[in-house]
Amino acid sequence: MILLVAAINWKLGGLTSLSLSYLSDGWGRGLAAGAVLDLKRPLVGISLLSYRTRSDLFNQMDLTFTYRSSPKGGVIYAFGGHYILSDYPFSNNTLVLFGGFGDYSYFSSFEAGAAYSMYGGDLSYGVLQVSVSAGRFVGSKVWFEAFAILSQVSDTLKFHLSSPVFPSFGATFRLLTGRFKPYVGAWLGRQFLAVKWYGLIVSNYPFVYEGGALLGLLVDVGNLRPGIHLTYDRLRDPIYRQASSRIGLSLSVSPAPSL
């Protein structure tokens, strides 16, 4: 299976982030669009997805809310949730709640969080997840970050899973000097219905992810930071036991962080 994602993100007036994505894989193809309103502490987002397989058309809407505390001594707390409406029966009426904190300094960072996802239309199937990550400079130019995610599924029979526990571990290296900022990373283990990127991304289709890698480049151009990102993931359908690969390609443009 091949997934191709082309995304453009930008901000208007320092408040709004927009995205547009195209995807194609072994089962079909789709188009996604999203917007995030950044109100300093709260983030309010909406994303729309239209995905066509060989026999069906699925539409999805994901509403997201995140509240972030003001920094105190380098510590930020955040919590929020997703509500997902979808033509795909399993993902329809999905509710995801998440929260955590981050402790940041110039030389290091530590983050910890938890999420609980309720699936099945009637919210009868749950996934509990805890995650931690830590980062620090290696030398003066390279930022190293490692993470671990552990999730537990409440009903293994529903998903035809051999084990209710899914551990995964990964790391990334980023060069943070000059205009060009490349990064590379990889992860091992298994993920299922994972909540990632500080709660902003929910993998709400029931595939088991069995490891992956990522590669990218960000470039500072004036007040903007365009980037190109390549990802590879190994997937498995837990019902039909079909294994496949997913390759993702995305383009992004966002404001360059102020120093």
**What CATH number does the domain containing 27 carry?**
2.40.160.40
Over the range 22-55, which residues count as b (16 or more CB within 10 Å of their CB) and which as e? Answer: ebebebeebebebebeeeeeebebebebebeeee
Mean pLDDT of the 203-223 span:
87
pLDDT of 181 > 90? The answer is: yes
pTM score above 0.85:
no
Has residue 125 been placed in a domain? yes
In the chain, what percentage of residues exceed pLDDT 70?
A: 85
**Which of 44-53, 88-97, 107-116 is least confident?**
44-53
Answer yes or no: are the C-beta atoms of 233 and 212 closer than 8 Å.
yes
H-helix segments, the chain:
156-159
Which pLDDT value is given to residue 259? 53
Has residue 5 been placed in a domain? no
Residue with the larger pLDDT of the pair 3 and 135: 135
Q: Which two tokens stand for residue 33?
A: 């669009």
Residue with the larger pLDDT of the pair 58 and 248: 58
Per the structure, how many domains does the chain have?
Answer: 1
Has residue 2 been placed in a domain? no
CA 120 from chain center: how many Å? 21
Which pLDDT value is given to residue 16? 47
Place of tokens 């000059």: 178
- The Cα 39–Cα 16 span in angstroms is 9
Q: 175: which residues sit within 8 A by CB, 6+ positions away?
A: 141, 142, 143, 181, 182, 183
pLDDT of 161 > 70? The answer is: no
- The Cα 182–Cα 226 span in angstroms is 12
Has residue 84 been placed in a domain? yes
**Which of 9-13, 84-88, 103-107 is least confident?**
9-13
Which pLDDT value is given to residue 168? 96
In the chain, what percentage of residues exceed pLDDT 90?
A: 30
pLDDT of 22 > 70? The answer is: yes
Mean pLDDT of the 191-204 span:
76
Has residue 4 been placed in a domain? no
Interior CA angle at 115 toward 49 and 247, to 5°?
A: 45
pLDDT of 198 > 90? The answer is: no
Q: Which of 27, 30, 22 is nearest to 4 (CA)?
A: 22
Domain residue limits at 163:
10-255
Mean pLDDT of the 188-194 span:
91
Which pLDDT value is given to residue 1? 32
Q: 241: which residues sit within 8 A by CB, 6+ positions away?
A: none
Has residue 54 been placed in a domain? yes
pLDDT band at 199 (very low <50, low <70, confident <90, very high): low
Has residue 189 been placed in a domain? yes
Has residue 151 been placed in a domain? yes
3-state helix, strand, coil in the chain (%, to 5): 0, 70, 30
Query: Of 17-31, 118-132, 154-168, 217-231, which one has max mean pLDDT?
Result: 217-231
- The Cα 259–Cα 247 span in angstroms is 34
Q: To the nearest whole number, what is the mean pLDDT of the chain? A: 81
Which pLDDT value is given to residue 14? 44
